[in-house]
Amino acid sequence: MRCIVLFVMFCLLSCAVFADEERPADDGKEGSELRLVIMGPPGAGKGTQAEKISKQYGIAHISTGAILRAEVAKGSKLGHQVEETMKKGELVTDDTVLRLVEERLRDPDCRDGFILDGFPRTIAQAEGLEKILERQHRGPVSVIDLVVPDEALSKRLLARGRADDTEETIKNRIRVYHENTAPLIAYYKKRGQLIRVNGDQPIADVFSTIMSELTPPE
């Protein structure tokens, strides 16, 4: 009799483990992760807001710009490859950033969710992200788009003074944004994934607007 009880318990346990492996992360049950993207032109406040959102929800903040700058600072092979491109304010290749993001999303700190800052930046990257999420059995992202007029951007960036915050490079980064990244607004709007937020207000107000958009009213 004891053997039968033990056998039944073993079967039930195996089924539970197997079912857990097969279950996609986004099953709407307790513990499901928060998957966010924050987009907007250079200087829109993506990094500033992503940091606050990541702290608020305890999710990973993934900035492709910061990852690439760290590679440049380390003097790695990748750093050497991307240094000139970043200095000019051009885009690093889609394959490079997609590889970095896929790897980073597997890290344990992304288990409860993540906010991607500065990625995707092209339609190809957005399509690549969808495939990555499918491969990782994760659901789609919600996309926060920070809306700030061009005139306010250069003023903010010149005051900050990062290596790529020179007048010429800022101009190019804004041009590259309009040409390659702005089409993502329509892309995500069409899919019902877009949350547009006025980024041209004090930092605390932008944050509370984002919070009110992310938290559904009771």
Q: Which parts of this chain interact with Mg ion (CB under 5 A)?
A: 46-47
Closer CB to Mg ion, 43 or 113, in the complex: 43
Among 36, 59, 91, 194, indicate the residue that binds ligand AP5 (CB under 6 A): 91
Angle at 156 between CA 204 and CA 119, to 5 degrees: 75
Residue type, 18: F
Q: Is 22 exposed, middle or buried (0-12, 13-18, 19+ CB in 10 A)?
A: exposed
Does 114 participate in binding ligand AP5 (rule CB under 6 A)?
no
- We find the least distance from the C-beta atom of residue 45 to Mg ion, in angstroms, to be 8
Does 203 participate in binding ligand AP5 (rule CB under 6 A)?
yes
**206-212 CB contacts, 8 Å cutoff, 24+ apart:** 206/45, 206/49, 206/146, 207/49, 207/52, 207/53, 210/49, 210/53, 210/144, 211/56
Among 45, 52, 133, 144, indicate the residue that binds ligand AP5 (CB under 6 A): 45
Does 52 participate in binding ligand AP5 (rule CB under 6 A)?
no
Interface segment toward ligand AP5; rule CB under 6 A; list 25-33, 73-81, 83-91, 127-135:
83-91
Instruction: Give the Cα separation of 212 and 210 in Å (integer).
Output: 5
Residue 106 backbone phi and psi in degrees, to 5: -85, -10
Binders of ligand AP5 among residues 164 to 183 (CB under 6 A) are 173
Instruction: DSSP letter for 140, please.
Output: P
Closer CB to Mg ion, 46 or 52, in the complex: 46
Closer CB to ligand AP5, 89 or 113, in the complex: 89
- We find the least distance from the C-beta atom of residue 88 to ligand AP5, in angstroms, to be 8
Please check whether residue 152 is in contact with residue 200, taking contact to mean a CB–CB distance below 8 angstroms.
yes
Which of 74, 73, 67, 53 is CA-nearest to residue 99?
67
Please give the residue ranges that form the binding site for ligand AP5 (CB under 6 A).
40, 42-48, 64-65, 68, 85-86, 89-92, 97, 118-119, 121, 125, 156-157, 160, 173, 199, 202-203, 206
